[in-house]
A = this chain, B = another copy of it.
Amino acid sequence: MRSFALASREYKAQDTIVEISTSRKTVFIGEGYCTIIAGPCAIEGKEDYLTIARILEASGAHILRGGVFKPRTSPYSFKGLGSEGVKIITEVREITGLPVITEIMDVRDLDLLYENVDILQIGSRNMQNFTLLEEMGKLDKPVMLKRGLSATIEEWLLAAEYILSGGNEKVILCERGIRTFEPYTRNTVDIGAVALLKHLSHLPIIVDPSHATGRWQMVIPVARAAIAAGADGIMVEVHQNPDMALSDGKQSLTPDNFNKMFDQIVQLAVLDGKIKP
């Protein structure tokens, strides 16, 4: 018997499709869709964020990402713009009509973020922050749950179970690489996990090739692999000028490379019969 219940295919055979709506757009995440989430790692200022958002909108991206509360390994690193960043994200959401996703690290930021963003992201370091997960379970808002750096698939689904058992069914899984002995890449994308999760669970699964590889040159091939393995979408970092990014520049795509990836991903999804041409 599975240790996870509500997250399992046995409990619910039909794929969960999460609907995300703003005043102007409706986006779906789940089987039958191929959803592209894109944006800079961290929001660094309004003008820059609006510029990249408009580029991404024109390129066909479905959802905007942008960190405002950034978990950083060192206390001395740039930690994001905080509530100032939330204002920017809100304005850009208003202007573009695109749904937005950002990370929540602290239950005390919940009210602010609940009002202003469309998907709350639980980062990998907080995958087993159970008090945060319990709060997510009380919401009627989509939650993207990133896999912990050394979380097994079972532990990950049990973390999802925390949210589901609280009553929130809008859980999206996100594979972002696991920690292994390999020093060449930042993390090791577990592509088999994507395939396996489609058997074990009804929840949508997104892959983040930017954090998983840490090198922009690998982002496109790994994004392609993710879709070919059955993922329901991709979350990538895009920056107008990756060399100047305050965080994660090395793994950010330029807008041109994003367009290249986007076209290839769509062709693959059509070939799979995942989406219609």
Contacts and interface: CB of A to CB of B under 8 A. Distances in A.
Nearest to A197: B184
A194 to B, nearest CB: 7
Q: Is the interface of A mostly helix, strand, loop or mixed?
A: helix
Nearest to A184: B153
A150 B188 CA distance: 13
Contacts of A271: 267-268, 271
Interface in A93-107: 105-107
A212 interface: yes
B213 A192 contact: yes
A183 B129 contact: no
Contacts of A72: 130
A22 to B, nearest CB: 28
A35 interface: no
Contacts of A71: 128, 130
Contacts of A191: 189, 191, 222, 225
A24 interface: no
Contact of A225 (B130, B154, B155, B229): B229
A74 B74 CA distance: 30
Contact of A185 (B73, B131, B192, B268): B192
Given A72-B130, A191-B191, A149 B150 contact: yes
Given A225-B226, A271-B267, A73 B126 contact: no
A5 B76 CA distance: 10
Given A106-B131, A195-B222, A198-B221, 18 more contacts: A3-B74, A5-B76, A71-B128, A73-B155, A75-B130, A76-B165, A106-B107, A125-B130, A149-B150, A150-B181, A152-B184, A178-B182, A185-B192, A189-B190, A192-B212, A192-B218, A195-B217, A199-B217
14 contacts: A73-B158, A105-B129, A107-B108, A126-B128, A153-B184, A180-B180, A182-B193, A185-B193, A188-B192, A189-B192, A195-B217, A199-B217, A268-B268, A271-B271
